[in-house]
Amino acid sequence: MLKLRCKSKGGTQTVLGLTACSTLCELQTQLTQLTGIDSYRQRIKLGFPPTGLDLRDPSQTLQKLHINSGDTLIVEDDPSVAAQETNGPVHKILKRRVVPADNSCLFTSIGYVTDCDGGEVNPTRSRDLRGIIAKAVAADCDLYSEALLGKPNKEYCRWIMREDAWGGAIELSILSSHFNREICVADTQSLRIDRFGEGSGYKHRVLLIYDGIHYDPLELETDPGKPPQTTFSTCDDMVLILAQELAQEAHQRRQYTDLGRFTLRCLACQRGLTGQREAQQHAQETGHVNFGEV
Q: Indicate if the alpha-carbon torsion angle 46, 49, 55, 60 is positive or negative.
A: negative
CA distance to 137, 146, 151, 153, 196, per residue, from 143 (Å): 8, 9, 13, 10, 17
Best CA proximity match to 43, nearest among 15, 76, 19: 76
Average pLDDT over residues 113-121: 74
288 is an active site residue: yes
Bigger pLDDT: 84 vs 39: 39
Q: What is the pLDDT of residue 238?
A: 83
Bigger pLDDT: 289 vs 151: 151
Burial of 64 (0-12, 13-18, 19+ CB in 10 A): middle
Q: Indicate if the alpha-carbon torsion angle 136, 208, 23, 182 is positive or negative.
A: positive
164 is an active site residue: no
pTM of the model: 0.62
Lowest mean pLDDT among 58-62, 134-138, 141-145, 161-165: 58-62
Q: Which residue among 54, 102, 164, 236 is the active-site one?
A: 102
Burial of 20 (0-12, 13-18, 19+ CB in 10 A): middle
Q: Is the pLDDT of residue 224 over 90?
A: no
User: What is the percentage of the chain residues whose pLDDT exceeds 70?
Assistant: 85
CATH of segment(s) 94-252: 3.90.70.80
Q: How confident is the model at residue 41 (pLDDT cuts 50, 70, 90)?
A: confident
Q: Please, what CATH class does the domain formed by 4-85 belong to?
A: alpha beta
Average pLDDT over residues 29-49: 87
Bigger pLDDT: 236 vs 9: 9
Mean pLDDT of all residues in the chain?
85
Q: Is the pLDDT of residue 139 over 60?
A: yes
105 is an active site residue: yes
Q: Which residue among 6, 25, 105, 157 is the active-site one?
A: 105
Average pLDDT over residues 56-81: 86
Are the C-beta atoms of residues 145 and 134 closer than 8 Å to each other? no
Best CA proximity match to 273, nearest among 261, 257, 286: 261
Q: How confident is the model at residue 120 (pLDDT cuts 50, 70, 90)?
A: confident
For 16-58, list the strands marked E by DSSP.
42-46, 51-52
**Beta-carbon contacts of residue 17 (< 8 Å; ≥ 6 apart):** 1, 30
Residues of the chain with CATH 3.90.70.80: 94-252
Q: Which residue among 25, 214, 216, 266 is the active-site one?
A: 214
Residues of the chain with CATH 3.10.20.90: 4-85
194 is an active site residue: no
